[in-house]
Amino acid sequence: MAIRDDFEVAAGQVRQAVQRFALALLVIGAFAIMLIGKADTVLVENARVLALDLASPALEAIARPVAVANRTIADLREFATLREENARLREENSRLLSWQTAARRLENENDRLRELSQFHEGPEASFITARIVGDSVSAYVRGALLNVGRKAGVAPGQAVVTAEGLAGRIAEVGDNSARVLFVTDVNSRLPVQIERTRERAILAGDNSSLMRLTLAQTVQGVQRGDRIVTSGHGGSFPLGIPVGEVVQAGDGTSVKVRPFADFSRLEFVRVVDYGVTGLVGAGNPPATPLPPVGPRGR
Amino acid sequence: MKADGILATLDHWGRLLMPGVVLLFFVLLTLAPLHVPYISDILPLLPALTVFQFSLATPERLPGPLLLVMGVLLDLLLGGPGAPVGVSALGFVLIRAQVVANRRFLVGVPFLFQWIGFCLLILGYVVIVWVFTALFTWTDLDAGPALGQYLVMVVAYPLLAPLLARVRPRDPLNVPEPSRGTAQPGETTS
């Protein structure tokens, strides 16, 4: 009996030693994974895509009831302000109708002029509608997961738009899932122009709800209320997608832009398939996943 | 007294797998587009809370390698270009190790102590994630949102902990009352 007790005590000590060693091993393992991730970004990218593809069915199952609940709550809230909302909409509608007339006239005129000058527009854009199945919003990331992927024609670098304006761009693509990086993410750099003056600028996110506008050079300056649209530079984004509105400008202060897209209530988005991405020749289907166009390496 | 049969086997495996499954669920829930103020804030820290809470009672059911895998999965899913993969794994492993090493101060003590322990450990977790993310992306990351999440989580802990303690697979009522609070480092209740 005594021998057995001794044995058990010794076994316990060994087990404790292994446990202590195990912690060191696990910590080393975590560090090793981090270093490998830093050294081999392609591997990490592939692992991310695989994880996304595996998780997206589960996420979709979670997202649907959540979306229904959110919509119900929003509906209930809207009931309270139905009257005012109605009045506001009626007013807006009459205003927009006059705008529509103007737009039709201008479109006609534009078409004529283009015919006259034999102007060739860029490739036609087509849209892929996607449901947002996951938020990839943490303290350090602003993004979302979509339920469409390579099989539907999504490719890295494509623009993601909502009804209001640009939401972001595709960062990673799996077979049936994709990750969007919002324009407000700290890694987002977007070539834009100011609609009023056609001056080019770079719009950078900083993980807050506003974005920072950096003008290359400015003659006419920028003022509050200016609309910011994509400039089409880099080739992957069509020209003229509305992005946001300047809310803060002036001497000495940085120019801040509020995005048109409401990231807190996104449910469906459209991925703009512009035919070519900036890094691929026309008609050449992307055989290998390309790195996202934009921020890296700048 | 041990029962045999299919139900007992199911029960056994259910208890064994529960913490891992709950952790996986919260890792996935981190990405759920809830869009609810405050609740969305605590989502990224829920896996860490799960690790803490289950490590209190049944650390052997959250083995280190599993934590490593879950942490890596969380980092992969949460994404962000340049963000370190594996930092959550490191945080999870350290939380578990600290809880196991300091069980005497955390198990069977008044809830306030447990809360303080939780605050300290999760603060360590948030700081680790912040430091490594800042190092890897080499930017002066704004720590504000992370601290905001931390504060909301600290406030939410008293609400969530009892809930998780219910989900937590408690062993049958064969743990004698007097033995609670006297657990030694590494000792478990199974």
Per-residue model confidence as pLDDT tens digits over A178-219:
888 888 888 888 888 888 888 888 888 887 888 888 876 666
- Interface pTM (ipTM) of the complex? 0.73
Please check whether residue A75 lies inside any domain of the structure: no
pLDDT score, position B3? 56
B6-31 residue pLDDT tens: 888 888 888 788 888 888 888 888 87
- When pLDDT is averaged across residues A229-258 and rounded to a whole number, the result is 80
Please check whether residue B25 lies inside any domain of the structure: yes
Please check whether residue A73 lies inside any domain of the structure: no
Do A106 and A154 have their domain in common?
no
Residue of chain B whose alpha carbon sits nearest to that of A65: B34
Cβ contacts of B65 on chain A, cutoff 8 Å? 26
B129-147 residue pLDDT tens: 888 888 887 777 777 778 8
Q: Does B23 touch chain A (CB under 8 A)?
A: no
Do A101 and A128 have their domain in common?
no
Does A30 sit within 8 Å of B87, measured CB to CB? yes
Per-residue pLDDT for B170 more than 80? no
Does B97 sit within 8 Å of A134, measured CB to CB? no
Q: At A250, which helix (H) or strand (E)?
A: none
Q: Structural domain of residue B11, as residue ranges?
A: 6-169
Cβ contacts of B86 on chain A, cutoff 8 Å? 30-34, 37
Please check whether residue B175 lies inside any domain of the structure: no
Binned at pLDDT 50, 70 and 90, residue B82 comes out as low
Number of domains present in the structure of chain A = 3
Phi-psi region of A207 (alpha: psi -120 to 50; beta: other; left: phi over 0): left
pLDDT score, position A287? 42
Cβ contacts of A141 on chain B, cutoff 8 Å? 78-80, 83
Please check whether residue B190 lies inside any domain of the structure: no
Binned at pLDDT 50, 70 and 90, residue A20 comes out as low
- When pLDDT is averaged across residues A152-171 and rounded to a whole number, the result is 87
- When pLDDT is averaged across residues A36-57 and rounded to a whole number, the result is 84
What phi and psi, each to the nearest 5 degrees, are found at residue B22? Answer: -60, -40
pTM to 2 decimals? 0.71
CATH number at residue A239: 2.40.10.340
pLDDT score, position A195? 84
pLDDT score, position B177? 46
pLDDT score, position B59? 79
Do A212 and A103 have their domain in common?
no
Helical spans, DSSP H, in A81-145: 82-117
Distance from CA of A161 to the nearest CA of B (A): 18
Q: Which of B68, B78, B146 sits opposite A26 (nearest CB)?
A: B68
Q: Which residue has the higher pLDDT, A258 or A41?
A: A258
Do A241 and A295 have their domain in common?
yes
Residues 127-186 of B with CB under 8 A from A: 129-130, 132-133, 136-137, 139, 141-142, 145-146, 148-149, 186
Lowest mean pLDDT among B57-61, B176-180, B181-185: B176-180
Cβ contacts of B35 on chain A, cutoff 8 Å? 70, 135, 264-265
pLDDT score, position B142? 75
Average pLDDT, chain A: 80
Question: Of the candidates A28, A43, A68, which is a domain's last residue?
Answer: A68
Q: Structural domain of residue A167, as residue ranges?
A: 124-298
Please check whether residue A289 lies inside any domain of the structure: yes
Please check whether residue B1 lies inside any domain of the structure: no
Cα A239 to Cα A117: distance, rounded to the nearest angstrom: 20
Nearest alpha-carbon partner for B28 in A281, A43, A277, A54 = A54
Do A116 and A183 have their domain in common?
no
Average pLDDT, chain B: 78
- When pLDDT is averaged across residues A121-125 and rounded to a whole number, the result is 65
Please check whether residue A160 lies inside any domain of the structure: yes
Residue of chain B whose alpha carbon sits nearest to that of A52: B77
Q: Which of A31, A51, A139 sits opposite B149 (nearest CB)?
A: A139
Cβ contacts of A157 on chain B, cutoff 8 Å? none
